[in-house]
Amino acid sequence: MSTKPTKYDETEKFLQGLEIRKDVLGEEKINRSLWGADAFNQPMQQLVTEYCWGAAWGRPGLPRKYRSLLNIALLTALNRPRELELHIRAAFDNDCTAEEIQEVLLQTAVYAGVPAGIEGFRIATPIVEEVHSRNAGEQR
């Protein structure tokens, strides 16, 4: 298998997902993921962009804030720390508060297990501190 990336199939859902994905996670990160993909992992980037971001996040039934909070709960329950960190950071850009994230992590601990909740807080704490520091600096 060649490691040279192939062109993405720019379906309507892919383009919609690409816009949402960049808006939620940041253009720089997404550009690295998409355009840094090789022929082996490029199909996964196609799937994620089209299916997760275009077909799911692109639906009108829930605002992005709620989708962020749901992702935090699910990724905590599934023990996916790298994705959890990414989505906690994005949640702040989707107008989630530290208090809302805290409540989601507490609720998740009850239903998914205390160890999952502890790990969620372990991942969230430095991000919350970073956001608070940044916000305090902007208010000066």
Mean pLDDT of 104-109: 98
Give the pTM: 0.88
DSSP reduced 3-state for 27: helix
What integer pLDDT is reported at residue 4 of this predicted model? Answer: 67
Degrees, nearest 5: CA angle 104-113-105: 15
CA gap 30, 51 in Å, rounded: 15
Decide: 19 and 50 in contact? Cβ < 8 Å: no
What integer pLDDT is reported at residue 39 of this predicted model? Answer: 87
What are the pLDDT digits (tens) for 2-59?
566 668 999 999 999 999 999 999 999 898 888 888 889 999 999 999 999 999 999 9
Given the candidates 1.20.1050.10, 1.10.1060.10, 1.20.1290.10, 3.40.50.2300, the CATH classification of the domain at 62-140 is 1.20.1290.10
CA gap 26, 3 in Å, rounded: 26
pLDDT greater than 70 at residue 95: yes
DSSP state at residue 93: H
Residue boundaries of the structural domains of the chain: 7-61, 62-140
